[in-house]
Structure 1
Amino acid sequence: MFDAVKRLALAGLGALALAGCAVIPGGNEAPVRNEPAVMLPPPPPPPPDADALPVDVERHRIALLVPLSGENAEVGQSIANASTMALLDTGAQNLRITTYDTGAGAGDAARRAVADGNRLILGPLVRDDVAPVLAAARPAATPLLTFSNDTSVAQRDVFVMGHIPDQSVARVVTFAVDQGARTFAALAPRGDYGDRALRALEQAVTASGARVVRSERYDRNNTSILSAADRLRAAGGYDTVLIADGARLAAMAAPRLKDAGQALPSIIGTELWSREDELTRTPALRGAWFAAVPDARYRQFAASYVSRFGSEPYRIATLGYDSVLLTLRLARDWQPGRPLVPAMLTDEGGFLGLDGPIRFSADGVGHRALEVRQIGNGAFTVVDPAPTGS
């Protein structure tokens, strides 16, 4: 029995010995060494995304949505340049404005702007782009300050900043009635702009106790507006005519409505006549009136723009400049990173910019103080300054 126990003990020792050895190819054995583990350095962080904006804790992220490609690219670039001017002129350090091109799709531009964390959108430029931009912005509680002049897109979170033709028509009609006008006629192009101008004329004239007695519509070409003007002159029965179109067609139509030097009918126009020097070279338009935003500060802005960018700005470019001034005003009571409450835009005191004061009502419509200008021989004259009160 002793021999058996001895054999079992020897077998156990052999097993323990084998348990402490590693088998190496070739049948040799080597003892296992408990070497310290090697600590590898952590992998380097991934490179930053070139398209991602850095984190902002002290600046407001603002998106500027304008066309930088396509048919309106020059207008969009002019607005973008003006917004850059405003940042430089004010030395603003609490705004980060990023520009997104709507030329290839306004909806895509808005989705990128929202994903980048922008809390206010300046733009878009045209009415048809408002709906796709709003579809991306509203779920993120991001209001729009659109450069469109169409009040039909105004909503509780869409504020219309453009120069609204309805307000221009109402202002000049009120002035004309004060000068003795009682019966109105109109030349208006077919389409949305003409429809809006005629509605505004009817509302303003009725509110003033006067009458609209006739209107003629036309296609926007030379032959059509001349024929419409001839029909209107032949009909007669009015003392004032609204030409709801730009300078070129207005200058063509006016001589068909009255002879140079003839007192009546008085001719009135819209905000489209602002800074259109061609009108001052048309004798039949001498004494005509139109209403527009004050122009004095624009001349200084335009000179500065030319010195910086080497070309004349579009008249609408002031909206880009003023939108930055307005945003800086909002930033006084707006914490970076927090949503902008739309009601902050409806301050009763309004906001002051290059184009004068603007006040937004709760429905999103921007109301402006307009001046009335008269066309003279080679120059415009302000005959009724813009109101300065609230």
Structure 2
Amino acid sequence: MGAQRPIGFKRLLRGAALVGAVLLAGCQTVVPGPGPSRRPPAERPSQSQQPAVEPGIPTDTQRHRVALLVPLSGANAGVGQSLANATQMALLDSRNERVRITSYDTAAGAAQAAQRALADGNQLILGPLLADDVRAVTPIARRAGVPVVSFSNDATAAGNGAYLMGYVPAQSIIRVVKYAHDQGVASFGGLVPNGVYGERASTAFLRAVESAGGRVGALQTYDRAPGSMTAAITRMAKSAPYQAILIADGGSAAAAGVPVLRRNGMGGARILGTELWNSESSIASKPALEGAWFASVSDGLYRQYAAKYRARFGAAPFRLSSLGYDSVLLTIRIMRDWPMGSAFPEDRLKDRGGFSGIDGAFRFGRDNVAERALEVQEIHSGTTVTVSPAPSGF
């Protein structure tokens, strides 16, 4: 990875405005007028030929068809609509005239949405959002030879033609643990919630500390129920002291646990967080997390993007919506090697040089999961400060 170079928001934008197609159908009947008493043989009224009307999306030979599969109704409609808005914003900003994106609602069934998208001739699928939906869509798309670039962060859903752009917890844990060790931290403690996320965070934490050359004094699990984290901290205190403690949970949960750590004699340990913290806009305003470190994608370009999004749509975007924007930039980048009317060149997704977007540099690894260039931020005086910048590329 090379030295970081600032990237302006405008440098990400390259190409086209969205255009539409309208079909006009007409019909004219000629009626003969009155004639003399001796009438000529009757003629049938002439009819103009009606243009054929196709079901679904009209034929478009000038643009690549790309499907966006996101929830546009139901409980996750908010984030789904934000992703849809972001993809349209990317098309408008880039002024690209060679891509058409059509949205399909996955709330009523991701498999059905995928089948409609393929029937409409789409050669690339962006989305879905949820891991279970990715698993439902992938075999359908694979049979059609269409790759899936999903917004999920569940690495187990990757493969067989599915690529994941989501922020994977293991990467943020590895990054912040290495940074902490480089700052002299050698002894670590961990608090992780029970469940799939906690299991993956635990595995990543143990491997990261071992790889960095540190030591894990205790790793305690808890349920997301009243009193459970307190009991885990009490158990952890028996193996104290620690120089740093990872709380692999959201910022609010971490902030609630810090006072308990202090009461149990662990107030001097540096608190470490995960990528979940970056999705909470109020994270910096939690006094209990003063001085805490966490690793995530950079927010520099995202802040500019969010301001433009609010101006265009009248509301703040969901943090995950940047994945939708960057997926369009990725598509446009590959498009130069994508002849019109042909299959999407899936091999280009494995470009080892990677791609750039609002969330910085990323590339898909052998497991089809996006490897991201992450920065380390510190919560300081009501704001977040970058203490270790993200590399600018690979």
TM-score computed with the length of structure 2 as normaliser: 0.85
CA contact (8 A) 1:297 1:355 kept: yes
- Percent identity of equivalent pairs: 49
Is 1:331 the counterpart of 2:322? The answer is: no
Query: Which residue number in structure 2 is paired with residue 251 of structure 1?
Result: 255
Measured at CA, do residues 47 and 68 of structure 1 come closer, stay the same or move farther in structure 2, by a change above 3 Å? same
Bigger drift between 176-185 and 366-375 goes to: 176-185
Query: Which residue number in structure 1 is paired with residue 105 of structure 2?
Result: 101
Q: Which amino acid aligns with 1:348?
A: R
Deviation string 1:80-114 (CA, Å, 9 cap, x unpaired) is 01111101111110001000000000000000000
Equivalent of 1:129 in 127, 133, 137 = 133
Deviation at 1:226, TM superposition (A): 2.6
Deviation at 1:42, TM superposition (A): 7.0
Query: Which residue number in structure 1 is paired with residue 75 of structure 2?
Result: 71
Larger radius of gyration: 1
Query: Which residue number in structure 1 is paired with residue 10 of structure 2?
Result: none
Deviation at 1:228, TM superposition (A): 2.0
Deviation at 1:284, TM superposition (A): 3.5
Is 1:54 the counterpart of 2:58? The answer is: yes
Structure with greater proportional helix content: 1
Query: Which residue number in structure 1 is paired with residue 385 of structure 2?
Result: 381
Bigger drift between 185-194 and 104-113 goes to: 185-194
Q: Which amino acid aligns with 2:140?
A: A
Is 1:145 the counterpart of 2:149? The answer is: yes
Q: Which amino acid aligns with 2:134?
A: V
Deviation at 1:40, TM superposition (A): 7.4
Q: Distance in 1 between matches of 2:59 and 2:209?
A: 54
CA contact (8 A) 1:292 1:372 kept: yes
Equivalent of 1:227 in 212, 224, 231 = 231
Structure 1's unaligned 5+ residue stretches are: 1-34
Count residues in correspondence: 355
CA contact (8 A) 2:241 2:266 kept: no
Q: Which runs of 4+ in 1 moved over 4 A?
A: 35-47, 259-263
Measured at CA, do residues 170 and 305 of structure 1 come closer, stay the same or move farther in structure 2, by a change above 3 Å? same
Deviation at 1:160, TM superposition (A): 0.7
Is 1:120 the counterpart of 2:124? The answer is: yes
Structure 2's unaligned 5+ residue stretches are: 1-39
Q: Distance in 2 between matches of 1:282 and 1:320?
A: 29
Q: Which amino acid aligns with 1:251?
A: A
Is 1:201 the counterpart of 2:205? The answer is: yes
Is 1:317 the counterpart of 2:316? The answer is: no
SS at 1:315's partner residue?
A: coil
Is 1:83 the counterpart of 2:87? The answer is: yes
Q: Distance in 1 between matches of 2:349 and 2:281?
A: 35
Query: Which residue number in structure 1 is paired with residue 309 of structure 2?
Result: 305
Q: Distance in 2 between matches of 1:375 and 1:320?
A: 27
The two structures, once aligned, show a CA RMSD in angstroms of: 2.2
Deviation at 1:362, TM superposition (A): 3.5
Is 1:288 the counterpart of 2:297? The answer is: no
Q: Distance in 1 between matches of 2:116 and 2:303?
A: 36
